[in-house]
Structure 1
C-alpha cells in the first residue's frame, strides 16, 4: 500500500531538514514475482519507486484524488510507492519541493508564479482543478450583491496568497483596498466565526469548505441551519477573475536532466487522475478514504467537500489535468496586473516557458484513454449532500 504521512499541524514546527527527511522516508515495496510467458521463467521482483508529494493543506477531501489513488492501488499500478505529506499554515509546498523535501507539490498557480519569479525552478505538470473554488460570501441583508458593493464594507481575507482573486475582482469593479472599511481587508481566520458573528460583512470562503461551515451553523433567528437562501455568494468564476488553483508541480531541472524522474512525473499524474475519476464515481467511498487517512472533518462535511471538489474537476474540457492555455494566460495576466496592499503585483514579468508543460499530463491522458478510463467526465452529475449541524 502507498504510504500516507499524517503530520498534521505539527508539521509546521519542523525544520526544513526534518521535513525533507520525513518526505523522503517512504519505504520501497516489491511487486509480486512476474513470469515470462515465452520461457516460463520467473523474473526478479520489480521494486516500486518511492515518491513523495507535499500537499498545500491538511488532510481533507480537497485532496481526495491523491488519497483515493493511494488507497485503491492506482499508484502501485504505475510502479510507485507514494507518500502523501499534509500541509499546514506555515508550510509552503514549493519551498519543500525546491529544497528536495518532496518530489512533487500541490499548490495554487498565482502563489507559485511569484516564487518562480524569485528563482524557483518548478513546472506545472497537471492542472487538477480546472475551476476556482474561491468565493466571497455575504448575508442577504448586508446590501452586498457584487464586488462593486464592497466599498465601505468589512471584507475578510485569509492572506497567504489566497487574496488575489478577491483583489482582482475588486479592481474589475472599480473598488480599491482604500475604499474598504478600515482601508484594507480584514485578516480572517480559516473559519467563518467572525462572519457569523457579524464582524465581517463579506468573508472569503471555498465552495468545498468555509461555505459549508455556514450552512452547518444554526441561525439564531430561526433555530434552523442557515440555508443558501440566507446568503449572497460572489463566485470569481462568474466574475471573470478566477485564477488557476490546485496544480501538481515538479522540479523543472530534474525534469530536464533526469529521464527516470520525468517518467515518474507521468506515472504520478496518471495515478492521480485515476484517483480523481474514482472520487467522481464513488464520492462517499472517497470521503471515507480521506477520513481514514486522518482527516478530522465531520462525515457530512467531508462528503460535501468531495462533491464540491468534483465540480472543480468535472466535466473537463480537455482531459483532467491538461493545462488550458487560455486559463493559464488569464491567470498570468491578472498576476501582472493585480496590486496587493503593499502596491506590488504578484509578478512583474512573464513567467518562463518552463513554468508549465502539458507533456507529462498529455502522455498520462493518452494511456488512460487507451485503458478506457473516462478522463473527461462529460456525463458528470454532482450528488445531493445534506449537511448536518457542525458537519457531523
Structure 2
C-alpha cells in the first residue's frame, strides 16, 4: 500500500484496527419517553466561527426541538475527528472530505451525510511584489503548509500546474499562523479565507504604521485554480446507519444543524458573540470576519444546505487519486468503496426544515463588509 500524506492518519488506522471489531450498540429512538437523546459531535478544530452553526443550534435549542441533547467536543492539533467517530467516541464528526476518505481507505467506517461547506476556503498567500499569481509561479519558492492533510489542495494545484512538490519547490512546515510570511521566511503561506488570511490584515505594516490591506498580498484561491476539494462535512457511523433508530436520529441531527446554520446566516453578529462566549481565543472583529467568510462557503445553496453535489464530490475524489505529495504518493489509491456518502438523510432533513419555514437556500444572502482591528480584537 502506498504511504499516505499523514502519519496521524496511519496512526488512526491502528486505533481503528484495534477497536473496529466491537459490537455497535443500538441507538435509542430520539426523544423516546420524552427524554432527550444524548449526542456527541466531534469538531475538527478549536471553537471558532467555523463551527458557529453547531454552536448556535445548541444555544438556541434547535437540537432540543429535535429531541437531542448535543454535546460539542472541541478539536485540536492531535485530534482526528473521523477516528473519534469511527472508534465510537462520538456519534457524528466534522471533517474535510479528502482527509476522511483517506481514513476510510484505511478502514474507518464513516459516511458523509451532510456537506455543510459547499466551497473551499483554502488560500495560498504571497506578497504582492513576489510575482506569484498562479500555482506555476511557486516553482523555486519556499512554500509553507500546515500538513495534517490540510495541504492536499496546494499539492493538487501544483500537480495541475506541472510542478513536482518534491523537486520544484522547497516545502516548509508552517505553524498555524502567518508569522513566517510576515517575517518573509517563506514566499507563500497557507491560509484559510476565514482565519489566517484575516491575521495578515490585522497585522501592522511597520513601513506605514497602519494595518496591512488586501492590496499588499496576492492570493492563490484553489477554487479559481481548479484544485479545490470539499471541506467541512458531517460524517456518520456507516455501520450504525443500518439501524433505523440511528437513521432517524441522523435526520433529526441534520435538521437542527440546518436551522443553526440558517440562524448564523441571518444573525452573524449574534453567532459571533456565541462563539466568543464559547471560549474562543480569537477576538470579536476576527470572529465576525470569520463568520462572514464561513457564510460565503455555505450560502447561497441552490439545492439546499448540506446536499452533496456529485460533480464536486467527483472532483475531490479524482484529485485525491491523482495529486502527488513530495514522495510521489497520492491521497487515495482507489475509488472510495461502500457508502462513502449519501444524500438520503440530509434530503429528509431539508424537507422537514423547509416545511417548518426555514430558508434552506439562502438565495438572498449578501456578505457583510467587516472592518478588522489590530490583532482582531
**TM-score, with structure 1 as normaliser:** 0.87
* Paired residues for 1:317-356 under 5 Å: 317-356=302-341
Aligned residues of 2:117 and 2:233 also touching (Cα < 8 A): yes
Aligned residues of 1:54 and 1:85 also touching (Cα < 8 A): yes
Aligned residues of 1:98 and 1:121 also touching (Cα < 8 A): yes
Match for residue 146 of structure 1 among 115, 134, 140: 134
Aligned residues of 2:164 and 2:326 also touching (Cα < 8 A): no
* CA distance, structure 2, for counterparts of residue 85 and residue 178 of structure 1: 36
Aligned residues of 1:151 and 1:179 also touching (Cα < 8 A): no
Q: Which has the larger radius of gyration?
A: 1
Which residue is 1:290 aligned to?
A: 275
Match for residue 231 of structure 1 among 217, 222, 226: 217
Shift of 1:353: 3.8
* CA distance, structure 2, for counterparts of residue 232 and residue 49 of structure 1: 48
Shift of 1:173: 1.1
Q: 1:186-218, CA deviations, whole angstroms, 9 ceiling, x for partnerless residues?
A: 100000001100001110000000000000000
Aligned residues of 1:97 and 1:104 also touching (Cα < 8 A): yes
* Paired residues for 1:1-392 under 5 Å: 46-182=34-170, 185-256=171-242, 258-392=243-377
Aligned residues of 1:155 and 1:180 also touching (Cα < 8 A): no
Shift of 1:111: 0.2
* CA distance, structure 1, for counterparts of residue 351 and residue 366 of structure 2: 24
CA RMSD of aligned residues (A): 1.5
Which residue is 2:25 aligned to?
A: none
Q: Which has the higher contact order (CA 8 A, sep 6+)?
A: 2
Aligned residues of 1:135 and 1:206 also touching (Cα < 8 A): yes
* CA distance, structure 1, for counterparts of residue 144 and residue 115 of structure 2: 27
* CA distance, structure 2, for counterparts of residue 180 and residue 350 of structure 1: 28
Shift of 1:178: 3.5
| Misfit runs of 4+, over 6 Å | none
* CA distance, structure 1, for counterparts of residue 255 and residue 337 of structure 2: 25
* CA distance, structure 1, for counterparts of residue 159 and residue 54 of structure 2: 35
* CA distance, structure 2, for counterparts of residue 237 and residue 290 of structure 1: 27
- Indicate the SS of the match to 1:64: helix
Unaligned runs of 5+ residues in structure 2 are 1-14, 16-27
Instruction: Kindly tell me the number of residue pairs found equivalent between the two proteins.
Output: 350
* CA distance, structure 1, for counterparts of residue 59 and residue 169 of structure 2: 47
Q: 1:101-129, CA deviations, whole angstroms, 9 ceiling, x for partnerless residues?
A: 10000000000111111111110000000
Shift of 1:45: 6.3
Aligned residues of 1:109 and 1:244 also touching (Cα < 8 A): yes
- Indicate the SS of the match to 1:351: coil
- Indicate the SS of the match to 1:186: strand
- Indicate the SS of the match to 2:34: coil
Unaligned runs of 5+ residues in structure 1 are 1-15, 17-27, 32-43
* CA distance, structure 1, for counterparts of residue 111 and residue 277 of structure 2: 31
- Indicate the SS of the match to 1:300: helix
Shift of 1:342: 2.4
Which residue is 1:13 aligned to?
A: none
Higher mean C-alpha deviation, range 137-146 or range 172-181: 172-181
